[in-house]
Chain A
Amino acid sequence: MFYGIELSSRLLLGTARYPSPAVLERAIKTSGAEVVTVSLRREGGAGRAGQSFWSFIQSLGLRVLPNTAGCHSVKEAVMTAHMARELFDTPWIKLEVIGDADTLQPDVFGLVEAARILSEEGFEVFPYTTEDLVVADRLVEAGCRVLMPWGAPIGSARGLNNVYGLKSLRAHFPDIPLVVDAGLGVPSHAAAAMELGYDAVLLNTAVAEAGDPVAMARAFALAVEAGRAAFLAQPLEPRDMAQPSTPVIGKAVLGGD
């Protein structure tokens, strides 16, 4: 599914903002996620947080998808990707080049440039992008074999802001794995993305900051499975007029008008 790697779970889960490492671990296990996103930050000589997080990640035995969160320039994102590749020993990189501080909207121009550089350097790039079709085309030209359009701004819990745009993207790229990344709030948002034919969803805050993250991880896992099953079952298109579900042919004529 992703750069030659087949996964059975279509839910990718972030590891940030959980109330405790124990809750994080249970949420990951309950979600069934096989890919978790991770990041990297400065650490001083006395700090041990990074080392204990690294031991925790190793103990999970899952695939990691490091991100370039917080990077606002191509140079920063490319260098962060190199550091992430060495730290986590994977060519996978969730490429974020942020263009706007309030909406955390991707800087799609910088994104395409960074994606090209990193693809040429052997990275397998998962670009966090908008649902813009032309940008998506450029990302594929740059070497991306996965696209991750946002549902809504990161952490906003607004769901799918532009269903039409996401549907167009799916129709335009039938063979590129598409992941809705960011902005999901409740399981019905994830189900909706899967019903559109998206290959997977990536979320973090919706689970981590729920009142009960472990229970919410389960709810999202069920929604992703339901949405995928619905897509494969070829759902109806909405129509304007009613259509009786009970056949009218053979209805008894009982008079009255």
Chain B
Amino acid sequence: MRIFLNDDAHEVDAATLAAALDALGFAGRKIATAVNGRFVAAPARPSTKLADGDRIEVVAPMQGG
């Protein structure tokens, strides 16, 4: 299945957001996520099903003013 993570295309074999994040190297990381413009809280990632073409946003802490 082809999904987009922060605009980059990836082929993943993952049914859920949690599985896709694990497959793409985010396991255990301090991140927040959204799918197709909707915020997905961490506890909801394992139950969030992915479909071909879904757009995932992953953000992490950074410096700010």
Q: Which residues of A contact B (CB under 8 A)?
A: 14-18, 24, 37-47, 49-51, 53-54, 57, 66-67, 69, 75, 79, 82-84, 86-88, 154, 204-205, 208
Could you give 10 example pairs across A and B, Cβ below 8 Å? A15-B63, A43-B59, A44-B6, A44-B8, A46-B25, A50-B59, A53-B62, A54-B60, A82-B41, A83-B32
Q: Mark B15-34, 1 if CB is under 8 A from A, else 0.
A: 00000000011100111111
Most chain A CB within 10 A, of B5, B30, B34, is at B30
Query: Chain B interface: which size bin?
Result: 20 to 34
The number of residue pairs between A and B whose CB atoms lie closer than 8 Å in the complex comes to 107
* Closest A residue, CB atoms, query B6: A42
**Complex contact B39–A39 (CB within 8 A):** no
* Further 19 A-B residue pairs, CB within 8 A, beyond A50-B61, A51-B29, A53-B62: A16-B63, A17-B63, A17-B65, A18-B63, A37-B65, A38-B63, A40-B62, A41-B59, A41-B62, A42-B6, A42-B60, A43-B31, A43-B58, A44-B58, A50-B60, A54-B61, A67-B64, A75-B37, A87-B60
